[in-house]
Every structure is written in structure tokens, then in C-alpha cells.
Amino acid sequence: MKLERVAIQEFQQFAGRLEISGLQPGLNIFSGGNEQGKSTIARAIRTAFIERHKVTTLTELRPTAKPSGNPLVEVDFKIADESYALKKQFFKPRCELVVGGKTLKEDTAEEFLSNLMGFTHSPKGATRPEHAGVPGLLWVAQNTVQNVAGAASNAASYLRDALAQLAGGNASGGEDALIVTIQRELFQLVTDKKRSPTGVMLEAINGLNALVSQRAELLRQREQYNVDLESLGATETELARIAKDKPWEAFEQKIAAADAQMKAVAQLEQRLVQVQELLRSTGAELSLLLEQESADALLDRQLEDVGAARTKAQGALDKADGELAKATQNVEEATQAHQQARAVSERAADAVAREYLAELLEMYTSRLKGTAARISHAQEVEAEIEGNRELLAVPGGERESAAIVEKIAMLERLRLAYAPDGIGVLEQDHARDFRRGVELQARLDALPQPHEAVNLVEARQAEMLAADLLEKARQALAEARDSRSAKAAAVLSQNAAQFALESQLQAPEFRSKRSARASAIVEKRAAVTGLTGQKEGVQQELAAAHAKELTEEVDRLRAAADAARSAQRMRESQVIMLRSRLETVGASGLDEQIARLDASVEQGERRVAELKLRAEALTLLEKSLIEERDRAVELLRAPLTKRLEHYLKFLFTDASVSLVEDLSPVAVTRGRQVEELGVLSVGAQEQMGILMRLAYADLLLEAGRPTLVMLDDIGVFSDKARRSGLQAAINDAATRHQILLFTCRPEDWADMGVAHRSLEEMKAAA
Amino acid sequence: MIKLLHTADWQIGAQFGQFDSAEATHLAEARFETVRNLAAVAQAHAADAVLVAGDVFDQQTVSDTVIRRLFGMMAGFTGPWYLLPGNHDAALTESVWTRAQRLGCVPENAHLILEPGVINNDALGLSLVCAPLMQRNTFTDTTEFFDHAQSPEGCFRVGLAHGSVSGILPDAVDSANPIAPTRAASARLDYLALGDWHGALEVNERTWYAGTHEQDRFRGNLPGHVLLVTLEQPGKAPVVEPVKVGKYNWERWEETISVSSDVEVLKARLAKLVETNVLRIEVKGSVDLVSAEAVRLAIEETRARVRALRSDSSELHVVPTDAEVAAIGAQGGYVGKVVATLRDMQADPAQSAVAAEALLLLAQFQKNVRSAA
């Protein structure tokens, strides 16, 4: 596509008319300061193509300097050697398209134009971005260049159409609108995200579930009804059978029989009590009698004991008598023996005295002879002493005197030896001894002449032994006498005791009482034996009657009868209860409700199935359409990526790019670094935006679509190096497309190899 | 000579969930109305008695209103009615019959046969040997006692029972409530009036099923009739004449559309249906978009005209022509591919219904989208 001439009149900046002619097939640069009308030119071309001439809302198109002006744009252009002349005026709406010698007017002209260019007109009002199509994509307004994603999305279907065209199909468009319509229908039935039922479908499903659970409840009730019904039948049958059989009557008959037995047992028990009482009192009486009798029997035993003691005492006495006689005899014999022994002893003593006296006499006799000798010797010495003394007494004898004195002293000592105490004492002694001799002779003569020789010591010992024996015999006798008298006393005492007991036992009163008691004891003993027999008899009878078992039996029978009666009463009330319950439920029309619910459930299921079918069909459509669309996009992606990377080389070395399904770029890979578009600098985003558009233009051109690239005030965010890369890319694109570039910095674009058209100059020329 | 009107299987209270609720209500209502019609027919033919051979009620616990209404509908015939409990309304301890008695709505001329035995109508010289069902299902022949049941000399001896005659009815093998096919002969009956089979059916000369008075299913086995039974004299074969009393005719169509002219034929047939028709239609085959829509339209128009209609076109494949594909703007681009996919998917029975529906929807949407553009 190539614009040849553009005329703008009463349009925004241009209150008058601006003619631009001689536009070149490649790059065309328009320069001018701010507010000079660069953007107005771009806007005018855009507006002429894509806005309806009948639009009334775009009042900003009118020149500020001439508010009543009717904006007019004329564009002469060529597509594939065909010339077109478009003339469109707003607010005084006119549209005319001259092509191949024909003039199309108004709506027809616009319809033709939109098909030719690849966009749709808004049904009403100003064209919205989603309708702007290829022009929206390639004709970038000021400061929107980096918004490539939104524009790409809106143009994606046109890009796809372009591909379809390459494949030989007819252009259609609006397929995404179809998907949107299908989704709108689908999302009335299922949710967007989880695809779970919603809206009428959810209502239908919930309604159905409610019906199903309602029916389940009623079915449960009917189940209960049927159970009750069966139970009623069974209970009524049983009730009638029991009412006829009356099982409790059998129990009650048995109870009556058992009752009679129970009475007999009670009598027996009473009897047993009586017998036991009688037995107890009789036994007590007997015990008392026996106790009394045993006290009396104690006296009998005492009497026996006393008799025995008395006999024993008598025996002892008799023995004591014997012992006494023997003792007496012993004393007599001992006395005799003693007398004999004393006589022997006395004789022996006489013999001894005789000997002694004889010896003594002899001694005295001898001593008289000695004394008489001494007296004679002492008298002779004395006579000599006297003889010498007298010599001494004759004077003159002095030499002889000492010898004489000497002799006298020797003779004195001799006299002293003979008669120490004088001769008189010797003579007295002699006299006395003589008298004693006489006396001794007298005594000796008085003594009898001994018969035999008896040892005095032995005799004396025999005598003393006999004396001892005698003394002992005398003591034994005394003891025997004492013993005997004690024994005699004991015999007397026992005799007294025996007499006392005998007189008590033999007392007539005592005896008669005792014999009466004896017969009483016999009688009571017989009574106790009799009663004991009776008691055992009754006890045996009771044991045989099984009183305990009988009671249990009666209790059991009574319980059984009661149970049978109460079971029957239960049955009666059960029947009443069941009947009333069944009647109540019956009256509620349960089966009918269930039948109605069955019908409603069936209807509900059908409704749900229909909705499900619709939802499935819509889901299938949506899925198939999206899949096919994505596949188509996928086919486009590779060539587009290739074109984009072709342009990227002018700016970046070693860069690649990834595209999403609507064919907008998402990330740039430089070297190993992946950068999402959104994080690139504003400059880089703008550069990407421009390159993207150039790539789209290439692709559209390949598909045979008309392309025109308009770039308004670009490159302001780029540094010099990038800008020159961008310029190289634009120059490259300009070999394939016509490019209108508007800039307020002509110096940045001085070396593009084309002459700049200055707005100031153009306006001046106009 | 006596004339008996033999009917059965009224199934009062039956519901029809296979139809929409409005349609179903009419069908349920018809079962009452046809009883009134039947009473009028009995009166018109001067019948001596009406024998209802079981399943008067569809369920035991219907509402009081239903019970009252039914007995009210019988007022048109003033002669004796003999109502026999069947399997649906068996004479249980507590049953729809005991409730009717408690409600006091049983007219004097209606006899409820709540236990097996012989009922003599001396005035008519009629001896009815009756085997009401005392429970829902029995597996012994409840008519066995008929053979030695005593009846007065010279009376008409007529049996009344409900169940399946062994070896005669289709699908009746091992079914509950069996009845010996030779019962009429072995029990020396002049006529054996049976219920349970929903069409009028002659088992043998003296044994008949009356069928339901009002059709309630899609089986064309002479439903909606009563039998007018004329007994000349005891021992002589009965004369049995079916009389139509039913209101609605149920039809089941299975249509196959192969060429577009089949659609016109079907439309013409549907056009003949009237308000007493109940239709179940299944359409199969393979048609283009226009024909598919035409079939749907014709069925919807018919639905508005007949009493009840149930349709199933899930096996009708939609195959758009090239012109149709172009018309819905799907010749090129991926929409065209989707159309082709959906057309092919219909070959798979598991997916054909969904695919056909999707195709129809696509055509519809595409038409709308394009007309809006």
C-alpha cells in the first residue's frame, strides 16, 4: 500500500487546508516542533480510514480555531497497482471512494474499505481499539508505541485471517467474538474457572437432588409403613390365637394345685414349731432333774469315799498298834542288853583299878625304899659335916681349916643332892608315902578277884552302844505311841463323817424324794425320745414336700401368667397403635406422593440431562474452537518470530524473543538472560514495540494485505546507538513498506537518506 | 341371559414422569374421566354388573381425595360393581379398600371383594368366584380353589381374578400371581374375568383379560377398551365384545431420516396428530443443518398440539452441506476445521449427540454473530 497524496482541511491543527503530495514508496519524514500538527496528520489519515463518516461524537476533530468547521480528509493511495481516492468529511457526513473508475459512496465505500484494510467499523460511535485491526496495529499514535500487547491482541484475529488467506481461505474475522458468545452461553450453565454447574443448571441439579432426597425420605416412610403393615397382620393373627388359647389359664390351674400343696406345707411347718417347742421345754425339765440327781449322787460317792477312808484309817491304826508293841519289846530288850553291858564294863573297871593300885603300891614301896636310903645317906653326910665343922671349930688348924671348909662345901652339896629340902621333908614324904601304901593296900584288898580278862575299852564301847540302842528304841516307842494315837483319831473322824453321810442318805424324806425323781427322769427321757422322733418325722415330711421349689414354681407360674396376659394386652395396644399409625400415613397419600416424586425426579433428570448435553456441546465447541485457534496462531508464531528476530539484530546482538498466543511478545532473551517485556526500560519497550510492528507489517505483507506504517515521535527514549539501530531497522522495513515518520527532533533523523518535510514550511506554503 | 361389563387395571393414581408435568397431569386425570365414561357405557348397554378385575388403584396409600373422586366417577352406572383387589391394591390388613370403607365413600352398589370366596347375586342368578390378592405377590395360583368352589345349581358361574396366565403372556415366565390357563375349564366357569395384562386379550373362549380402560404405555395391544360379556345361559360359551372407552391413543414412532424428503414425509405424518395423541418419537439418521432444524421445529410444533410428546433425536446426525458451512462463515479459518471435526465426531456413538448439538449451536451462534456484525 502506498499513500500518494493527503489533503487535510478544517481538522484539528489545520483550520485551513494542508496538501501533502509526492509521498515516496519508502520512508517519509515529517518534522516540526510541538503543536505544529505532526500528530494531526497521523490522526487525519487514521480517522479517514477507520472512523465512520457518520460519527458525531468525535468533536475533538474540529479545529480549535474554527469550531464550526467540518473536518475533511482526502487520501489518494495505491494497493497492488490499483489506485484509490478516498474523500471523507465529518459532521457534514460524506464518504466517497473512487476505485477502478467506480465511485463507491457512504456505507458501501466504508464497508469496502474495511474489508480492504482489515478492520471492522464500530457498529456505533467512534472506533474502539478492538475494531482498529491492522491500522490500529501499524499506525501508532504518539506515546502509545510501547503498548504493543494490547494492540497486538486486538489485531490477532486479523493476523490469523492473514494466515488463513495464505492457506487459500476466505477472510472472515470475528471468530474470537464467536468464542466469547459460546463462553457467555456456557458460563450460564457452568462456572468459568472450575466448570462446576451454575445458574439454571445448578438450579436444575439442586432441584433434582432435593426431589431425590425428598423421595428417599418418603421411601423410608413407606418402608416403615410396610413394616408396620406386616407387623399389624402378624400381631392380629397372634392376638386372635392367644385370645382363643388363653395360655394363662393353664398357668393359673397349676398355681391353684400348687397353692393346696403350699397350705399342707404350712401346717407341717407349724407342727414342727410346736414339737420343737415341746421338745425344748421337756429337755429343760429333764436337765434340771438330772442336775439335781447328780448332786445327790455326789453324796453317795462321798459316803463311799468316807467308808474307804475309814477302812484305810483302821488299817493304819492296826498297823500302829503292832508297831507300838514291837517298840515296847525293843525297849525291854535294849534295857536288858544295856544292863548286861554295864556289868561287864564295871568288872573290867575293877580289874583295871586293881592293876593300877598294885602298880601304884609298888611305886610307893620303891619310893619309900629310896627315900629311906637318902635319909640314911643325908644323915651320914650330915654327921660328917658336923664332924668337920667341929674340927674347924678347934683353932689352929688354919691350913687344914680351908680343906675342911672345902670338904664341908662338898659335903653340903652332897647333902643337898640327897636332901635338897632338908632331911625333914624327906622324912615327911616318906611318911606320906607309907600311909598311901597302906591305903592302897587296903583298897586293893577291897577289890574282888577278877574272873576273866575283859578289855575295859571294848566293854565301855559295848555299853555305850547298848545305851544308844536303848535310847533309839525308847524314841521309836514314843513315835509309835504318837502315830498310833493319830491313827486312832483319824479312825474316829472317818467314823464320824460316815455316820453323818449315812444318816443324811438314809433319811426317809430324802430317800422318797430321790426315788420320785428317778421315776420322773425315766418319764422325761421317754418323752424327749418320743418328741425327737416326731420332729424328725415332720422334718422328713417337709423335705419331701420341697417347700422352696414349690414357692419358686408358684412365683414362676404367676409371672408366666402375668407375662402372658400383659403380652396380650401389649398386642391389643400394638394393634391399636399400628392401625392408627397406618391410617394416618395412609391418609397422607404416601404412595401417591412417591409416585408424583418419581415422576418429578424423572422430569428433573431429563431437564438436567438436556442442560448437561447443552453444556457439553458448548464445552466441546469452546474447546474445539480454542484448540483450532491456538493451532492457527501456532502456525503464525514461527514466521512472526523469525521476522521479529530479523529486526532485533539491528538493535541487539544475540537476542531472541518469545511470543504468546495472541502473538504479542512476552520476553526477550539476550545471551543467557531472559527479560520479560514489562521489566525492560521504557526505551527498550518502545524499541521492541516498533520492531514488533515492523514484523507484523512484514507478515501482513506476505499474506498480501495492504501495509502502511506510521510512527509518531518515536525514538525519544533511545540513546544514540540504539537509535541508529532503530533507524537501520526502519530503513530496512522501508524497502518493503511505506513508512510515515513524524518527529520533533529532525536532527535525530538527519542521516536517514531522505529529505524531511517541515511542517512549518508546508503550512507556510499552504 | 346376563350382560357383564368386564374391565381392569384402572391404576388410579399412576403418574407419568416420562412427560412434562403439565402433560403428565392430563394423563393422570384421564384415568378418572374414563371411569366415568365406562360407567356411562355400562349404563348405555344396560349391563347387569361391572366386574373390575384388580389394580383399581395404582398404589395403596393414595390421598383421600383420589379415593373419593374415583368412587364418585362410578355414579353413572347404578347396577352392581364388583371391585377386586389386585397386586397394586391387595387386600392387606390395612389397605386402600379399608380406608375407602372408613371414609364411607363406597357407594352401596359397589362391592369390595376383600376375601376369596363365592358371592351370589340371586337376582341375576350369578355366582361370582373371586380370588382377590391378599398380598402383593403370591407364587401359588390363588384361583385353585375355584375348581371345588360351590355355587347354586343353575347359576352363571363367573370367575374373577388378577394375575398372569402361565405360558400365555409374553414376559410372564416366572411372574408372580400365576393363574392356570385351564382354570375356566377345570372350575367349570362360564367366564373367567382377568386383570393385570394392560391390553384386551382372549386367553381362550371363556378366559379374557379386559386390559386397562385408559392406555398408559406405548404398547398397541388393544388398550383403552372394556369387554361387554353376554352370557346366554349357564354352560354356553360367552359372547365377548370389546368396546372402546379410552381417551388417549399412545403411539411410539421410530423414524429414520436418510434424505431431506424424509423430513417432509415426517412433517406430514406429524401434522395428522391431534390432541388425543400421546407420542414418543425417536429420530435417527443423518441430515443437513436445515433439515435438522426443520425436524426439531416440526416436533416442537407437534408437541404443542398433542396431549403429550417425548422426543429423542440424539441419534440424528447433523451433516452441514458445503453451502451451509459457507453460510455460517466457516469455510476457511479454524471455524471451518471445527465444523469438520464435529461432523466427524458424530460417527462415534458415544459423542454423536454432543457433537450434533454442538454443530447446531455453532450454526445458530455464527448466524447471530454475523447478523450482529
DSSP-assigned states of every residue in A465-502: HHHHHHHHHHHHHHHHHHHHHHHHHHHHHHHHHHHHHH
For residues A10-25, one letter each, b for 16 or more C-beta atoms within 10 angstroms of the residue's C-beta and e for the rest, the string is: bbbbbeeebebeebbb
Cross-chain Cβ contact A621/B62 below 8 Å: no
- Identify the pLDDT of residue A766: 66
Distance CA A620, CA A95 (A): 44
User: What's the rounded mean pLDDT across residues B332-352?
Assistant: 79
Question: CA separation (Å) from A560 to A263, A553, A568?
Answer: 22, 10, 12
Q: Please write the tens of the pLDDT for every residue from B155-190.
A: 999 999 999 887 776 654 556 788 888 998 999 999
| Range name among A205-219, A239-253, A642-656 with the lowest pLDDT average | A642-656
Name the pLDDT band for A144 (thresholds 50, 70, 90): low
Beta-bridged to residue B225, according to DSSP, are B244
Which chain A residue has its CA at the smallest distance from B353's CA? A613
Distance CA B330, CA B338 (A): 8
Work out the percent of chain A whose per-residue pLDDT is above 90: 18
> In chain A, which among 586-625 make CB contacts under 8 A with chain B?
586-592, 594-596, 598-603, 613-614, 616-618, 620-621, 624-625
Q: Is the pLDDT of residue A167 over 50?
A: no
Name the pLDDT band for B370 (thresholds 50, 70, 90): low
Q: Is the pLDDT of residue A171 over 80?
A: no
Q: Please write the tens of the pLDDT for every residue from A108-122.
A: 888 787 777 766 665
- Identify the pLDDT of residue A329: 92
Work out the percent of chain A whose per-residue pLDDT is above 70: 88
| The dihedral formed by the CA atoms of A419, A422, A428 and A429, expressed in degrees to the nearest 10 | -30
Distance CA A139, CA A147 (A): 12
A161 touches chain B (CB under 8 A): yes
- Identify the pLDDT of residue A260: 85
Work out the percent of chain B whose per-residue pLDDT is above 90: 42
Beta-bridged to residue A105, according to DSSP, are A96
- Identify the pLDDT of residue B48: 94
| Range name among A58-62, A507-511, A739-743 with the lowest pLDDT average | A58-62
Question: CA separation (Å) from A332 to A341, A468, A484, B233, B339?
Answer: 14, 13, 19, 176, 184
Neighbours of B118 (CB within 10 A): 16
For residues B121-159, one letter each, b for 16 or more C-beta atoms within 10 angstroms of the residue's C-beta and e for the rest, the string is: beebbbbbbbbbbbeeebeebbbeebeebebeeebbbbb
> Is residue A179 within 8 Å of A569, Cβ to Cβ?
no
A223 touches chain B (CB under 8 A): no
* Pick from B52, B18, B114: nearest CA to A604: B18
> Is residue B153 within 8 Å of B122, Cβ to Cβ?
no
User: Could you give the count of Cα atoms lying within 13 Å of A488 in the half-sphere of its Cβ?
Assistant: 9
CB contacts, 8 Å: B362 with chain A = 178, 182, 621
> Is residue A739 within 8 Å of A733, Cβ to Cβ?
yes
The pTM (predicted TM-score) of the whole model is 0.57
| Range name among A91-100, B118-127, B217-226, B319-328 with the lowest pLDDT average | B319-328
Facing residue for A591 by CB, picked from B60, B361, B370: B60
Work out the percent of chain B whose per-residue pLDDT is above 70: 94
- Cβ-based neighbours of A220, under 8 Å, separated by 6 or more: none
Task: Give the best residue of B338, B345, B352 to mutate against chain A (max A CB count within 10 A).
Answer: B338
* Pick from A209, A228, A255: nearest CA to A582: A228
- Identify the pLDDT of residue A661: 62
- Identify the pLDDT of residue A16: 85
| Range name among A422-426, A452-456, A724-728 with the lowest pLDDT average | A452-456
A181 touches chain B (CB under 8 A): yes
- Cβ-based neighbours of A638, under 8 Å, separated by 6 or more: none
Q: Residue B48: is it exposed, middle or buried by C-beta count within 10 angstroms (0-12/13-18/19+)?
A: buried
Cross-chain Cβ contact B333/A632 below 8 Å: yes
Per the structure block, which three cell numbers stand in for B273? 396428530
Q: Which of A46-60, A119-133, A407-421, A624-638 has the highest mean pLDDT?
A: A407-421
Cross-chain Cβ contact B93/A603 below 8 Å: no
Name the pLDDT band for A172 (thresholds 50, 70, 90): very low
- Identify the pLDDT of residue A728: 86
Q: Which residue has the cell 422352696?
A: A548
CB contacts, 8 Å: A585 with chain B = 61
Distance CA A411, CA A408 (A): 5
pLDDT mean across residues, chain A: 83
Q: Is the pLDDT of residue B239 over 90?
A: yes
**DSSP character at residue A553:** H
Cross-chain Cβ contact A591/B13 below 8 Å: yes
Q: Residue B230: is it exposed, middle or buried by C-beta count within 10 angstroms (0-12/13-18/19+)?
A: middle
CB contacts, 8 Å: A133 with chain B = none
CB contacts, 8 Å: B330 with chain A = 172
Q: Is the pLDDT of residue A83 over 70?
A: yes
Cross-chain Cβ contact B335/A625 below 8 Å: yes
Question: CA separation (Å) from A738 to A1, A132, A753?
Answer: 7, 19, 15
Q: Please write the tens of the pLDDT for every residue from B71-125.
A: 999 999 999 999 999 999 999 888 899 989 998 999 999 999 999 999 999 898 9
A337 touches chain B (CB under 8 A): no
Report, in angstroms and rounded to the nearest whole number, the Rg of chain A calculated over CA atoms. Answer: 93
Q: Which residue has the cell 508505541?
A: A145
Per the structure block, which three cell numbers stand in for A219? 421411601
A581 touches chain B (CB under 8 A): no
Q: Residue A587: is it exposed, middle or buried by C-beta count within 10 angstroms (0-12/13-18/19+)?
A: middle
Q: Is the pLDDT of residue A150 over 90?
A: no
- Identify the pLDDT of residue A530: 93
Distance CA A308, CA B169 (A): 133
The helix or strand, by DSSP H or E, that contains position A159, with its residue range, turns out to be: helix A148-166
Neighbours of B353 (CB within 10 A): 19
Q: Please write the tens of the pLDDT for every residue from A486-504.
A: 999 989 998 999 999 889 8
Q: Is the pLDDT of residue B359 over 50?
A: yes
Facing residue for B61 by CB, picked from A586, A598, A599: A586
Beta-bridged to residue B285, according to DSSP, are B257, B316
Q: Please write the tens of the pLDDT for every residue from A521-534.
A: 999 999 999 999 99
Distance from CA of B253 to the nearest CA of A (A): 19
Neighbours of A395 (CB within 10 A): 6
Q: Please write the tens of the pLDDT for every residue from B41-52.
A: 999 999 999 999
Q: Is the pLDDT of residue B373 over 70?
A: no
